[in-house]
Amino acid sequence: MRSLHNIALIFSFIVITKSDQKCRERDLGIEGRSITRDPPDASSYVAYTTTRAGKRFEKSNGRIQAFSRLQKELNDFNRNEENENEGPFWTRTTLVLNQNNRYQTIHGFGGSVTDAAAYNWNKLSERTKHNFISSYFGEDGLEYNLIRTPIGGADFSTHPYTYNEYPWNDAALTNFTFTYEDLFLKIPMIKYIQRVSKQEVKVMASTWSPPVWMKTNEHITGFSQLKPEFYQSFADYHVKFMELYEKAEIDIWALTTTNEPINGIIPFVTFNSLGWFPAEMMENADSDSIKYIDGIAVHYYGNFAPATIFDELQNRYNKILLATEACEGPMPWDVMRVKLGSWERAHRYTKNIIEDLNHHVTGWIDWNLCLDERGGPNWAYNFVDAPIMVIPERDEFIKQPMFYAMGHFSKFIPRGSQRISVTYPFLEFGRIDNVAFRTPQGNIVLVLHNSNTFEMDVRINVDAIRHITIKVEAESIITMEINTRLF
């Protein structure tokens, strides 16, 4: 589930063409809300603010200012000297939007339907189950449009398992069948999501471990590689999975054939894995294989390399870059695996998503859609945090700050949006995390993340003659949808 910088090829990235409401509060020091999106009128914007102090998608709106009102303000804004009406120079900044500089196209945002997520969800009443799915995938929710699901079991299962475990050495996979987890947990949850969503929800799938008879150590965990005599069987394993899910009317859009291949190489991973050395993967890829690979999957954990590494990958391969797993609390030094109400964890999510999107990543998939209060179930005791925690004995679920952080992207950056450039003027010292997109509707969506403990005054130069000024609260996330049309 996690490793150091994990970069795994997405093999056969298959693409198949097919009123605000307040939630019940729990005493966590935060207030929960679902949200509707209000399209901005011409020459105006709508902003949605979430703060550490407790705002959740609080709406505000304003007009784009014309240049005729700008000149004196611009001179005052860029002065280096301070006065009683201004804060220090590092508390103000200017962002310049350039719609002509366009980059990657967005595929979407979402979360993972694991055994654990479906197990927890299935314990809720029918009404609460519906509210849960609507919170993530509904029009009044975050409008997720991507799902990732394990092929067979993962550590977030109640027990380790694979498909076709018997008969031993069954290279033809004559006993490849659905498991209980498919029939009663994952498939019902995915089907429910498809019914609730008003848009296409694309499904990708990943293998944690094949049947152990395919592996050199013949165990679900530990140092292992795929036995060479079962390379074709391993390929067939994925085809049979897609065929079974197609019978359940679930099309698989993309595959990664091994989740985090380094986990089968490093000695301390104690959950389902399969190891691949980079050289070994290259040996099994002839010179023409790269044309059959549409994308590269990247993960959130232990990423000590800068996000600029994605620029190099994009320049070298020109493939889809997709972030396919993230969670908080997974590392050995995480004293608290679950930390209810943590703004710091929402801050790390937001910062990572903005960095990824600014370096050619086309979408971002969270890990478990929900977990229990312990951070499971997980057969390997590898408990972690999640944006939603389920408490079945009270028939309730808790939306954490990470949930709202995800929504600042998934709710407002629709599939098909294109990233545009955001720059700072020369000699501008103030900085704020940002990323901007032009949507298929022609609007601009700008996400601002102020991680500072002080308020920021931000001027947004929409074009050469118009601008917006906005105050960004301390420790906050703002998503702005800007309609730049004049009429």
- Angle at the Cα of 378 from the Cα atoms of 372 and 382, rounded to 5 degrees: 105
Mean pLDDT score, 104-120: 98
Residue 12: pLDDT band (50, 70, 90) is very low
pLDDT digits (tens, 9 = 90+) for 276-302: 998 777 666 656 778 889 999 999 987
Q: Domain check: are 460 and 324 in the same one? A: no
In a domain, 387, yes or no: yes
Residue 84 has pLDDT above 60, yes or no: no
Q: Domain check: are 280 and 146 in the same one? A: yes
In a domain, 329, yes or no: yes
Q: Domain check: are 392 and 370 in the same one? A: yes
Number of structural domains, the chain?
2
Q: Which domain holds residue 399?
A: 7-18+107-410
Residue 476 has pLDDT above 70, yes or no: yes
Taking CA atoms, 74 is separated from 94, 369, 378, 460, 473, in Å, by 10, 45, 56, 11, 21
Domain boundary among 410, 429, 457: 410
Let me know: does 446 contact 434? Beta carbons within 8 Å.
Answer: yes
Orientation of helix 343-357 relative to helix 401-410, angle to 10°: 20
Share the mean pLDDT of the chain. 89
- Tokens (6 digits) for 93: 């900044």
Let me know: does 411 contact 479? Beta carbons within 8 Å.
Answer: yes
- Which pLDDT score is estimated for 31? 40
Q: Domain check: are 112 and 93 in the same one? A: no
pLDDT digits (tens, 9 = 90+) for 435-460: 999 999 999 999 999 999 999 999 99
Residue 70 has pLDDT above 70, yes or no: no
In a domain, 26, yes or no: no
- Which pLDDT score is estimated for 285? 60
Residue 97 has pLDDT above 90, yes or no: yes
Domain boundary among 345, 376, 410: 410
- Angle at the Cα of 138 from the Cα atoms of 402 and 397, rounded to 5 degrees: 50
H helix intervals, 318-468: 343-357, 401-410
Q: Which of 3-12, 126-135, 387-396 has the lowest mean pLDDT?
A: 3-12
Residue 428: pLDDT band (50, 70, 90) is confident
Domain boundary among 410, 440, 470: 410
Query: Taking Cα atoms as reference points, which of 82, 56, 160 lies closest to residue 379?
Result: 160
Q: Domain check: are 268 and 368 in the same one? A: yes
In a domain, 23, yes or no: no
State the catalytic residue, choosing from 58, 325, 328, 481.
325
Mean pLDDT score, 368-388: 98
In a domain, 368, yes or no: yes
Q: Domain check: are 305 and 397 in the same one? A: yes
Query: Taking Cα atoms as reference points, which of 251, 238, 217 lies closest to residue 173?
Result: 238
CATH number for the domain harbouring residue 342: 3.20.20.80
In a domain, 1, yes or no: no
- Which pLDDT score is estimated for 333? 87
State the catalytic residue, choosing from 260, 328, 473, 475.
260
- Tokens (6 digits) for 150: 């394990």
- Tokens (6 digits) for 452: 């500072």
Mean pLDDT score, 162-181: 97
Residue 78 has pLDDT above 80, yes or no: no
- Which pLDDT score is estimated for 461? 96
260 has catalytic annotation: yes
Let me know: does 161 contact 121? Beta carbons within 8 Å.
Answer: no
Query: Taking Cα atoms as reference points, which of 148, 152, 149, 151 lies closest to residue 161?
Result: 152
Residue 305 has pLDDT above 90, yes or no: no
In a domain, 31, yes or no: no
Let me know: does 458 contact 93? Beta carbons within 8 Å.
Answer: yes
Orientation of helix 126-137 relative to helix 187-196, angle to 10°: 60
Query: Which residue is listed with tokens 């929800």?
Result: 201
Q: Domain check: are 124 and 67 in the same one? A: no
- Which pLDDT score is estimated for 77? 52
Can you give 158-200 as a three-state secondary structure string? Answer: CCCCCCCCCCCCCCCCCCCCCCHHHHHHHHHHHHHHHHHCCCC
Q: Domain check: are 275 and 333 in the same one? A: yes
Q: Domain check: are 123 and 257 in the same one? A: yes
Q: Domain check: are 353 and 251 in the same one? A: yes
CATH number for the domain harbouring residue 46: 2.60.40.1180
Q: Domain check: are 141 and 72 in the same one? A: no
Residue 420 has pLDDT above 80, yes or no: yes
181 has catalytic annotation: no
Residue 138 has pLDDT above 90, yes or no: yes
Let me know: does 244 contact 151? Beta carbons within 8 Å.
Answer: no
Mean pLDDT score, 330-345: 94
- Which pLDDT score is estimated for 79? 44
Q: Domain check: are 365 and 265 in the same one? A: yes
In a domain, 58, yes or no: yes
